[in-house]
């Protein structure tokens, strides 16, 4: 089995199946073949940080790391740092200083997904990397976002922005004298509800800042739209490898099948199912004398075999990775790095 190297590789799957471990080992394996690799984690759990022993300063910064004499760059996504880089790259300093943009770009602030895409695109544009490996948060939320990009595009719809520009100039010029009368006269529907809510819970200054924030974001629309264009590349067979990770633990394979179903409109057909923590191979030379242990072995063996049969019916390629008998997460990564080599000729 040969896995062709593509510009992007995405690791997705449900919670705790080994996405971060396998993405890291894949990135190391690629780097050991001489490729220039950037490993990005957009998982706010920051597991990669512990794994690679990165310091707090490295959050949001591209950081060179070395594991077992293999060198690569790693980046723990920080929406705030991405905003700062965008402001520099696209000469829009207001983007980094506006307080509403700051709130939106906090972790869980609502802009994580789009900023992740913008970040990946900016790193790709730097020309420094042959491959960017992406470790995603558990579940399908990030993947849903890839599908729903059209909705975000409408955010930049000219009429919406014109409305905000108009409201912004009125509010800023007229100040509190006009209060919210202008806003109420001009807008309707959802926007009025939103501003009404903001009016109740905040102050006039907040609304002004909000309007200014929308204008600032609009000024940076080139950066956002470029980030969004990444969606097409991630969907394309020639540019992206998709690894849907699952493990032999109870219920995980079913979750992987559901996730495949969920992601089928944007995950191309040539994706890989990665079955992690397999025991079959590890147990092959274990012949317990004790009957109870023998029964456990037989039951684990048959459960795993059945699982593989089911998965092979549903996925074009199933890559098997063994359970590593160590307590150290970095040992799991190092051992699995070698395993990737067996899938490349």
Ligand X SMILES: Nc1ncnc2c1ncn2[C@@H]1O[C@H](COP(=O)(O)OP(=O)(O)OP(=O)(O)O)[C@@H](O)[C@H]1O
Instruction: List residues binding ligand X (CB under 6 A).
Output: 13, 15-21, 43, 45, 47, 138, 276-277, 321, 323-324, 329, 332, 336
Three-state SS string over 59-104 comes to CCCCEEEEECCEEEEEEECCHHHHHHHHHHHCCCCHHHHCHHHHHH
Closest CB to ligand X among residues 85, 332: 332
Query: Taking the complex as a whole, how short is the minimal distance between the CB of residue 262 and Mg ion, in angstroms?
Result: 19
Query: Taking the complex as a whole, how short is the minimal distance between the CB of residue 9 and ligand X, in angstroms?
Result: 15
276 binds Mg ion (CB under 5 A): no
Choosing from 20, 98, 171, 276, the residue that interacts with Mg ion (CB under 5 A) is 20
Answer with the entry of ligand X, Mg ion, none that 18 interacts with (C-beta below 5 to 8 A by kind).
ligand X
Closest CB to ligand X among residues 9, 209: 9
Q: What is the DSSP letter of 277?
A: E
Decide: 82 and 105 in contact? Cβ < 8 Å.
yes
Closest CB to ligand X among residues 77, 183: 77
Answer with the entry of Mg ion, ligand X, none that 332 interacts with (C-beta below 5 to 8 A by kind).
ligand X
Backbone angles phi, psi at 5, to 5 degrees: -75, 135
Q: Where are the beta strands (DSSP E) in the chain?
A: 8-13, 37-41, 63-67, 70-76, 131-135, 240-247, 272-278, 317-322
Residue whose C-beta lies closest to Mg ion: 20
Decide: 114 and 152 in contact? Cβ < 8 Å.
yes
Burial grade of 113 (CB within 10 A; 0-12, 13-18, 19 or more): buried
Binding residues for Mg ion, rule CB under 5 A, total 4
Query: Taking the complex as a whole, how short is the minimal distance between the CB of residue 338 and ligand X, in angstroms?
Result: 12
In sequence order, what are the residues at sequence separation of 6 or more whose Cβ sits closer than 8 angstroms to the Cβ of residue 318? Answer: 272, 273, 274, 275, 308, 311, 312
Query: Taking the complex as a whole, how short is the minimal distance between the CB of residue 294 and Mg ion, in angstroms?
Result: 36
**What is the side-by-side order of every strand in the sheet holding 70-76?**
63-67, 70-76, 37-41, 131-135, 8-13, 240-247, 272-278, 317-322
* CA 229 – CA 36 distance, rounded (Å): 23
Query: Taking the complex as a whole, how short is the minimal distance between the CB of residue 277 and ligand X, in angstroms?
Result: 5
Answer with the entry of ligand X, Mg ion, none that 17 interacts with (C-beta below 5 to 8 A by kind).
ligand X
Query: Taking the complex as a whole, how short is the minimal distance between the CB of residue 248 and ligand X, in angstroms?
Result: 10
Query: Taking the complex as a whole, how short is the minimal distance between the CB of residue 247 and ligand X, in angstroms?
Result: 7
43 binds Mg ion (CB under 5 A): yes
Closest CB to ligand X among residues 131, 256: 256
Closest CB to ligand X among residues 193, 338: 338
CA 218, 112, 330, 25 torsion-angle sign: negative
Answer with the entry of Mg ion, ligand X, none that 139 interacts with (C-beta below 5 to 8 A by kind).
none
Closest CB to ligand X among residues 21, 98: 21
3-state secondary structure of 292: helix
Query: Taking the complex as a whole, how short is the minimal distance between the CB of residue 333 and ligand X, in angstroms?
Result: 8
Closest CB to ligand X among residues 196, 329: 329
Closest CB to Mg ion among residues 43, 209: 43
Tokens of 120: 């990946």
* CA 50 – CA 74 distance, rounded (Å): 12
Closest CB to ligand X among residues 58, 246: 246
272 strand-pairing partners:
243, 317
Answer with the entry of ligand X, Mg ion, none that 21 interacts with (C-beta below 5 to 8 A by kind).
ligand X
Query: Taking the complex as a whole, how short is the minimal distance between the CB of residue 51 and ligand X, in angstroms?
Result: 8
Q: Measuring CA to CA, how many Å separate 225 from each of 71, 89, 116, 120, 217?
A: 32, 14, 13, 13, 11
Answer with the entry of Mg ion, ligand X, none that 16 interacts with (C-beta below 5 to 8 A by kind).
ligand X
Residue ranges that bind Mg ion, judged by CB under 5 A: 19-20, 43, 47
């Amino acid at each position: 089995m040969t896995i062709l190297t593509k510009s992007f590789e995405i690791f997705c799957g449900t919670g705790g199946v080994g996405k971060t471990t396998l993405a890291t080992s894949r990135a190391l394996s690629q780097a050991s073949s001489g490729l220039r690799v950037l490993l990005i984690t957009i998982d706010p759990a920051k597991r990669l940080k512990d794994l690679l022993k990165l310091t707090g300063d490295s959050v949001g910064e591209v950081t060179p790391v070395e594991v077992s004499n293999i060198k690569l760059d790693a980046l723990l996504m920080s929406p705030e740092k991405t905003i700062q880089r965008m402001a520099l790259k696209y000469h829009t300093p207001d983007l980094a200083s506006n307080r509403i943009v700051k709130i939106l770009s906090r972790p869980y602030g609502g802009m994580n997904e789009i900023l992740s895409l913008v970040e990946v695109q900016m790193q790709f544009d730097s020309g420094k990397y042959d491959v960017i490996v992406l470790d995603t948060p558990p579940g399908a939320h990030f993947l849903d976002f890839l599908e729903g990009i059209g909705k975000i595009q409408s955010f930049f719809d000219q009429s919406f922005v014109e409305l905000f520009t108009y409201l912004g100039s009125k509010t800023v010029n007229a100040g509190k004298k006009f209060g919210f009368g202008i806003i109420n006269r001009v807008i309707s529907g959802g926007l009025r509800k939103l501003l009404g809510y903001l009016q109740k819970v905040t102050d006039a200054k907040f609304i002004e800042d909000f309007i200014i924030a929308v204008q600032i974001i609009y000024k940076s629309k080139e950066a956002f739209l470029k980030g969004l264009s990444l969606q097409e590349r991630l969907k394309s067979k020639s540019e992206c490898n998709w690894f849907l990770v699952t493990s032999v633990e109870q219920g995980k394979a079913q979750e992987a099948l559901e996730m495949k179903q969920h992601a089928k409109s944007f995950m191309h057909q040539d994706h890989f199912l990665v079955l992690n923590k397999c025991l079959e191979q590890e147990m092959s030379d274990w012949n317990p004398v004790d009957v109870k242990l023998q029964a456990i072995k037989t039951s684990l063996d048959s459960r795993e075999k059945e699982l593989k049969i089911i998965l092979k019916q549903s996925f074009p390629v199933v890559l098997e990775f063994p359970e590593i008998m160590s307590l150290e997460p970095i040992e799991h990564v190092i051992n699995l790095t070698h395993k990737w080599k067996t899938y490349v000729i």
